[in-house]
Structure 1
């Protein structure tokens, strides 16, 4: 991502990017947040696997950066694939049911859901640094003790770091639709992902997906209907109405204004 800070004059061989607010020279190779989210926590460039996400580079605001520096050691974790997580220890409550949210954007909807349901922990996973900082800031401002932010690849989190039946639910809201046909293999909701998700969801837990890209919604419905681990919570099948607990996001509102149709899918782990 962006740059960190050093004191005094930088070595001539280093790339410089000007001075920070304290007048110190910044080195582009130094991390901006030494105790914050790592740029590549699992060394994922060593793993040959098609990914469903594309990391985005965008500016971290002063408020987001402050939240990352102060709150990441307490509420954040890197998906390094090196250990199994104890979710009870992570949230400070062994009885707290935990839902995994994959891809939370700027975190507004996540914070609203956490505030509306303090009896459920939300492990929110994304690779977008400004969004991570924004969600941490929102959680602190609202006094939310039931949010933790995970940085990195959700597949590695599910495969390497979570215990079987560990999750009380899973949310995948507006994943990248990869609209071009040659990119469809990058879509997250595929049979292989569902098998992994089913292994980490407790029996009866619900996988909730939402998308405003209709061809992707149809594919989601097709693969979920065909998966033996899941059953549609809709008695007659098909898409579900948006449940009250999923807030209408700014992104979703913009899509609706453009005439997009949003589809929700709720499938229960058998």
Structure 2
């Protein structure tokens, strides 16, 4: 596993903005005995750790030609596990740093016999950089990312010009980026960036003919909290040109 954060400006030979997190570290958390046993049994074939090896997606899912969507920041996987049966013909790869969150998703996948979900433990930007080839993804989802509300932390927000450029490079032509937030200031931040990446065509919301959009009937934990506080959920969709 890479033990230091990539210098993305050197890697991609540009001066775009990437989240500057310092050294990426895994959030601590304790698994229950059942989660630990489940992890030891099922993680080796359903999960991967961040590495610098490209993923052979067809081999991992044991099927050819299925579209693949990467979900960055899956949290505890509530919506991931709920949406997966609605998109059984699609490969879903959930990326998350927090092991207990992945353990909960892993448990839901095993209990529900959901066979189209895989997981990666690591920073989403690093995973995109090192584990996926250009034009290899049909979709990227970023639902309710950390808004880093303090002004001095805005540089840590994942939606930046550099990350949009990176996502665009990993999407196939026609591939879709879907972002949702309930944080008003973050929504305004995203609005100012909707046209910054020339490889992405901003489609707005709603986009009725979106080929990779699954109706999010199940409310995520963070979305539920936002709705309870009367926050407005803002959704953003782009298409790779």
Q: Deviation of residue 251 (structure 1)?
A: 2.3
- Structure 1 distance, partners of 2:110, 2:95, is 17
**Counterpart residue number, 1:60:** 31
Alignment match, 1:38: none
- Separation in 1 of the partners of 2:214 and 2:225? 19
Describe the shift of the 1:46–1:173 C-alpha distance in structure 2 as closer, same or farther (beyond 3 A): closer
Residue 217 in structure 1 maps to residue 190 in structure 2 = no
Quote how far apart the aligned CAs of 1:137 are: 0.8
Alpha-carbon separation, structure 2, partners of 1:46 and 1:209: 24
Partner of 2:95: 125
Q: Please give the root-mean-square deviation of Cα atoms over the aligned residues, in Å.
A: 2.2
3-state SS, counterpart of residue 195 of structure 2: helix
Instruction: Note the C-alpha offset of 1:42.
Output: 1.9
Question: Secondary structure of 1:44's partner?
Answer: coil
Superposition TM-score, scaled by structure 1 size: 0.77
Residue 43, structure 1, aligned to residue 3, structure 2: yes
**What corresponds to 2:229 in structure 1?**
258
CA-to-partner distance for each residue in 1:21-46, whole Å, 9 max, x for gaps? xxxxxxxxxxxxxxxxxxxx321368
- Aligned match of 2:146 in 153, 156, 176? 176
Higher radius of gyration, 1 or 2: 1
In structure 2, C-alpha distance between the alignment counterparts of 1:165 and 1:244, rounded to whole Å: 21
Normalised by the size of structure 2, how large is the TM-score?
A: 0.86
* Match runs of 1:49-128 below 5 Å: 50-51=20-21, 55-81=26-52, 83-128=53-98
Distance in 1 separating the partners of 2:189 and 2:102: 29
Deviations 1:78-114 (A, max 9, x none): 1112x11111111111211110000011111001111
Among 197, 203, 219, the residue aligned to 2:167: 197
1:106-154 alpha-carbon deviations (Å, 9 max, x no partner): 1110011111110001110001111111111101111111111101122
Structure of higher RCO (CA pairs closer than 8 Å, 6+ residues apart): 2
**Is the alpha carbon distance of 1:124 and 1:227 closer, same or farther for their aligned partners in structure 2, counting shifts above 3 Å?**
same
Residue aligning to 1:32:
none
2:239 aligned partner: 268
Q: What is the number of equivalent residue pairs in this alignment?
A: 225
Q: CA distance change for structure 1 residues 213 and 182 in 2, over 3 Å: closer, same or farther?
A: same
Partners of 2:21 and 2:59 in 1: CA distance: 30
Task: Determine the C-alpha separation between the residues in 2 that align with 1:240 and 1:216.
Answer: 19
SS in structure 1 of the partner of residue 192 of structure 2:
helix
- Structure 1: distance between partners of 2:100 and 2:66: 28
